[in-house]
Structure 1
Amino acid sequence: MGNTHTVRFEPVGIEIEVDEDETILNAAFKQGIMLMHGCKEGQCSACKSFILDGEVDLDRYSTFALPDFEEAEGWTLLCRAHPYSDLEIELINYDEEIIHGGVPPRTISTSVEAVSKLTGDIYFLKLKPAEDFEFKAGQYVDIQIPGTELHRSFSMANTGSDALEFMIKHYEGGKFSGLLSSGAIKPGDELSVTGPYGVFTLRPSSPRRLLFIGGGAGMAPILSLLRALKADASQRERAYYYGARTEADLFHLEELAALDCGFVPALSEDSNGWKGESGLITDVVSRLEGDITEVDAYVCGPPPMVEAAIALLEAKGVPEAHIYYDKFTTTADE
């Protein structure tokens, strides 16, 4: 254990104690403070904040997330920053509605209940926690890769605490997804899970219409949100646009129809006999949606799709504060 320092977050006026041996973001998690974050590995810049006073030491990070000139100006990444004095930090991205609503992450043991294919390259994984595991719809966990100290992050597709269900895309060379595709992970196996993490959650007080945009395995957290809305008998109007390559890449169509979520699938590649929407999902949203300035938008999928969707939403007048996104980055190995 190192020295402990006080870290004060402005403009929200929250103070926490942080040991030098832990990052500011992890310390906040442990104390139930839900700061904006993404990859937790210094790659995405979602937790980028400004140091008003004090000093930090940074673990290794990507200069795409924090360029050298920004670091020199006083910007930092909370997921990489260790305090070396008392600190005052300005949060650039925060949500006062959820900042105090975090569930401190913990590590639990789970057993594999089921592994199956949803499409040619997306797998269903169901885990049974050894104990109740509370999480909010839209959140994710880190699953440890068996036999290693490495982990991979996956969003839950379900709600509740008695099971964890995932949709995991297989990438060539993927250290975890490869174990699913090869059958190396099978029912009865034990997997260590740490979480929950993530702020891709519903803002209960908002009356705004919901607009969901996703693609690929990015359906997982959105389906979790839709299931939660259905369970709560929410009357909030909603629409869900989902992009896939071919008709064979679509799944859960019957449930999505039953969720009353205005589901609109679109195929980016020609498919004989397909009578639905075609083209990039952002083009479909642009074509079918009128005035969306008063929506809460939730976007999840591969980074290029997420970035294109955010650009479209901002161009159509959706305030940045009402755009919530989750980039499904990959860590597949060559």
Structure 2
Amino acid sequence: MSDEKHTVRFEPVGIEIDVDEDETILDAAFRQGVMLMHGCKEGQCSACKSFLLDGDAQMHQYSTFALNDYEKDEGFVLLCRAHAYSDLEVELLNYDEDMIRSGLPVVTTAAEIVAIEELSRDITRLVLRLVDPGSLRFYPGQYLDIHIPGHDKHRSFSLASIPSPDGRLEFIIKRYPGGLFAGLLESGLAAGDQLQLTGPYGTFTLRASSERPLLFAAGGAGMAPILALLRQMAESGNERPVRFYYGARTEADLICGSELAELGAELPGLTFLPCLSDSWPDHWDPATTGFVHNVVGRHEEDLAACDVYLCGPPPMIDAALELLESRGVSSEQIFYDKFTTTADTESPANT
């Protein structure tokens, strides 16, 4: 790291960290166990958007969808892309003080592949076991970076599992055509191989301080963190009522049915509503056809009474957020994990 270090103070929580000039502010926070709100860590999702009150910060490449030019000129910054070149004072716009102060250290560790299982035509279950089971701590709903063997790249995947003494980790991963990691899942990785992991990251965790009913909505590989939260609830005996809407294209794309059935037996307050958007069999309930946010809108009369957890691709999240805003749901009751993708095809134009 560079010898040039600066102090960043976060308001209104009054927390200070030391930041090296060649690391992002978000990475410096991770290093010091301060868990700021974040999502993709790549300047695409805006979850870490904050306001620079004082000091000199410069940003590396980011998407203007996450931070447009007007916002940048006004003083907004993305902490995952911002470097400090003086002492800074930063106003956090999206934060949970309890989460900030309960951060776990980000570590890099090794895990061995236990199983690779195809769940649907484009979704795979990857099961790992930590070589040193005590080397990694995480909260259900968080994600890890998996380093791609033979490359200096990584891919981020949410955990579907909860912490266990044997260090078992489970991921549910969507395979994209031409994807660098997807290709290895299809042919290249096998049981017994080792992978390097870094984490934990993410703030998509169950807020224990609330007793409101829960509404979960997910699509595709967004099943993973929701499964983790449900498993956490089952293990802890959490009796909050929860309705889980899961969106898929066709009946063949529905996954984790047996796991959800087992959880339903342990969680009497769980209602699972699968939704199909593209085609559905004759026996399918017409009320659960269409995009998942539309199904939620038809079924839920009092969304403002719930804590809402959303996980899936950006179009699904954006449509759901628009629905929730129109129904008067407070932003403090909404938690989401937006699954952005990386252009990682083998085409030279995308590498």
TM-score, normalised to structure 1's length? 0.97
Q: Shift of the alpha carbon at 1:258? A: 3.0
Counterpart of 1:164? 169
Separation in structure 1 between the aligned mates of residue 86 and residue 178 of structure 2, nearest angstrom: 42
Distance 2:338 2:182 in 1: 17
Match of 1:232 in 2: 236
Gaps of 5+ in 1: none
Q: Which residue of 2 aligns with 1:110?
A: 111
Q: CA deviation at 1:274?
A: 3.5
Indicate how the Cα distance of structure 1 residues 274 and 145 shifts in structure 2: closer, same or farther if over 3 A, else same: farther
Using the TM superposition, give the Cα deviation of residue 330 of structure 1 relative to its aligned residue in structure 2, in angstroms: 1.4
Distance in structure 2 (CA, Å) of the matches to 1:116 and 1:294: 38
* 1:46-104 deviation digits (Å, cap 9, x = unpaired): 11111111001222222222222322221111111111111100001001121111111
Which segments of 5 or more consecutive residues in structure 2 lack a partner in the other structure? 265-269
The answer to whether residue 306 in structure 2 is matched with residue 303 in structure 1 is: no
Q: Distance in 2 between matches of 1:138 and 1:121?
A: 22
Whether the 8 Å contact between 1:108 and 1:192 is mirrored in structure 2 is yes
Which residue is equivalent to 1:35?
36
Task: Name the aligned partner's letter for residue 232 of structure 1.
Answer: S
Find the aligned partners of 1:316 and 1:178 in 2 and give their Cα distance: 42
User: Cα gap change, 1:233/1:87 in structure 2, threshold over 3 Å: closer, same or farther?
Assistant: same
Distance in 2 (CA, whole Å) between partners of 1:259 and 1:110 is: 27
How many residues align structurally? 333
1:294 matched residue in structure 2: 305
Rounded to whole Å, the distance in 2 between the matches of 1:240 and 1:142 is 26
Aligned to 2:146: 143
* Segment drifting more, 117-126 vs 246-255: 246-255
User: More deviation in 91-100 or 54-63?
Assistant: 54-63
CA contact (8 A) 1:98 1:203 kept: no
The answer to which of 245-254 and 208-217 deviates more is 245-254
Aligned counterpart in structure 1 of residue 212 of structure 2, from 198, 208, 230: 208
Give the corresponding residue for 1:268: 277
Whole-angstrom distance in 2 between the partners of 1:35 and 1:226: 24
| Aligned-partner SS, 2:99 | coil
**Alpha-carbon distance between aligned partners in 2 of 1:62 and 1:80, rounded to the nearest angstrom:** 10
Greater fraction helix: 2
Alpha-carbon contact 1:114-1:125 (below 8 Å) kept:
yes
Conserved in 2, the CA contact under 8 Å of 1:158 and 1:224? yes
Corresponding residue SS for 1:293: helix
The answer as to 2:198 corresponding to 1:194 is yes
CA contact (8 A) 1:8 1:88 kept: yes
Contact 2:213 2:306 in 1 (8 A): yes
- Between the aligned residues of both structures, percent identity stands at 56
* Preserved contact between residue 142 and residue 193 of structure 1 (Cα < 8 Å): yes
Give the secondary structure class of the aligned counterpart of 2:210.
coil
**2:252 counterpart of 1:248:** yes
The Cα offsets for residues 97-140 of structure 1, whole Å up to 9 and x where unpaired, read as: 21111111110011111001011110010111112221100000
Contact kept in structure 2, 1:157 and 1:221, CA below 8 Å: yes
Distance 2:168 2:258 in 1: 22
Cα pair 2:44 2:340 within 8 Å, conserved: no
Q: Which runs of 4+ in 1 moved over 6 A?
A: none
Q: Is the 8 A contact 2:35 2:103 kept in 1?
A: yes
**Residue identity opposite 2:308 in structure 1:** A
